[in-house]
Chain A
């Protein structure tokens, strides 16, 4: 009996070790990061180049990876647009891809590292413009869905985040915007409003005018109600209600 228990225990330990070994081989390194920008920035209809940056924990570029990019509109019947790159140029992987429509695109970036087993993924929500807008910010980049989620949830018990997505103004002009909802805050609880403007246009949210690329952070210490213009919603107005 003891013999079989010992055999079983060894088998289980070996199996667990094997699984851990395989997981260790295939799990992406947590510090490997994918960043995304484009030339031109922002993207416009037609063929353009996505610039995918793959960095390790020290921020150094990772060589030898293969990058696959897939862009989806999420419309029925629309085929995804794909591109591939495996050459590091000026510390980024250029990936040529054609955008067939001025719209919101979901871009999946998949990086297979040189070991051919480690796979890193990131998803980006990017608006593609019909006409090249005037925009001049060499440091501009797209923020991944996971990056946004991380920042929004990090202090969710006290911070209420509004992330104004890139392309918000263009979408509103297309008539595809959404009405705003009241922002409810609570003094002593979730009492800090943070607005980050990732759009290429400036925006007004109630009493706050937030330029492209800016983040504004307001902590409320007293109950109040602010009504005002809202340039990020279809109905054009918003209420910020701070409860006691």
Chain B
């Protein structure tokens, strides 16, 4: 096999409409769509609500999950603000959506500081904290990478380069879509509305 990965960019075939792909799971969505939706191993982590957050207890809801850290200067606050705007525009549907932030810097982000941080964006947002294997296992499920970048001699002074995506977990608890950093929150909002409309309440 000459090429291990095949990239073919053949141009010239007559176009089909953007929504005609036969094997697209949800062609009108703006995120990167997983086909099939990825089954996730259930997890139960310490949360800023004062109770454990267990993914399987949120079946029937959409979960927007993203990873970051409290002192992040760019991605995390930007994303959190966008998610706040999104959440507010969801209106009554917001009760069917959970926004969950997972710290990749548990050493500096204790639960108390994490609680203050996440509540600054929206009181309904949930922060999760895990360490060691629990955190690595969770990150591994989403392919999230986090690497420290020292800023000086002080071991407590560093940035963390981390995956800057928002992950959408469907009402069935499976990973449905990924939104890359910079995606307009209106696009995500549009996707959520489509999915919520297609997924009637179960209770």
Contact = CB atoms under 8 A, between A and B. Distances in A.
A208 interface: yes
Residue with the greatest number of chain A CB neighbours at <10 A, chosen from B4, B8, B143:
B4
B6 A190 contact: no
Q: Main SS of chain B's interface residues?
A: loop
B145 to A, nearest CB: 7
B52 interface: no
Interface stretch (B33-41, B63-71, B102-110): B33-41
Nearest to B3: A178
A106 B34 contact: no
Contact of A208 (B8, B12, B178): B178
B180 A207 contact: yes
B24 interface: yes
B16 interface: yes
A165 B7 contact: no
Interface string B1-42: 101111111111111101011011100001111111010000
A165 B9 contact: no
- Measured as residues with beta carbon below 8 angstroms from the partner, the interface class of chain A is 35 or more
B154 to A, nearest CB: 28
A56 interface: no
Interface string A171-204: 1100011100101100000101000000000101
Given A202-B143, A217-B32, A158 B6 contact: no
A208 to B, nearest CB: 6
B158 interface: no
A213 B163 CA distance: 22
Contacts of A192: 18
Most chain B CB neighbours (cut-off 10 Å) among A161, A164, A204, A232: A161
A154 B145 CA distance: 34
B117 interface: no
A162 B6 contact: yes
A65 B10 CA distance: 36
A11 interface: no
Contact of A168 (B4, B13, B20, B38): B4
Given A155-B16, A157-B14, A158-B15, A232 B32 contact: no
25 contacts: A104-B1, A152-B10, A155-B15, A156-B8, A156-B11, A156-B12, A157-B12, A157-B15, A162-B5, A162-B6, A162-B7, A171-B4, A183-B7, A192-B18, A207-B181, A209-B142, A209-B144, A214-B34, A216-B32, A217-B32, A217-B33, A219-B18, A219-B30, A224-B180, A232-B5
Interface of B: 1, 3-16, 18, 20-21, 23-25, 30-36, 38, 142-145, 163-165, 178, 180-182, 187
Q: Which 7 A-B pairs have the closest CB atoms?
A: A209-B143, A218-B32, A156-B10, A104-B1, A152-B8, A125-B1, A215-B35
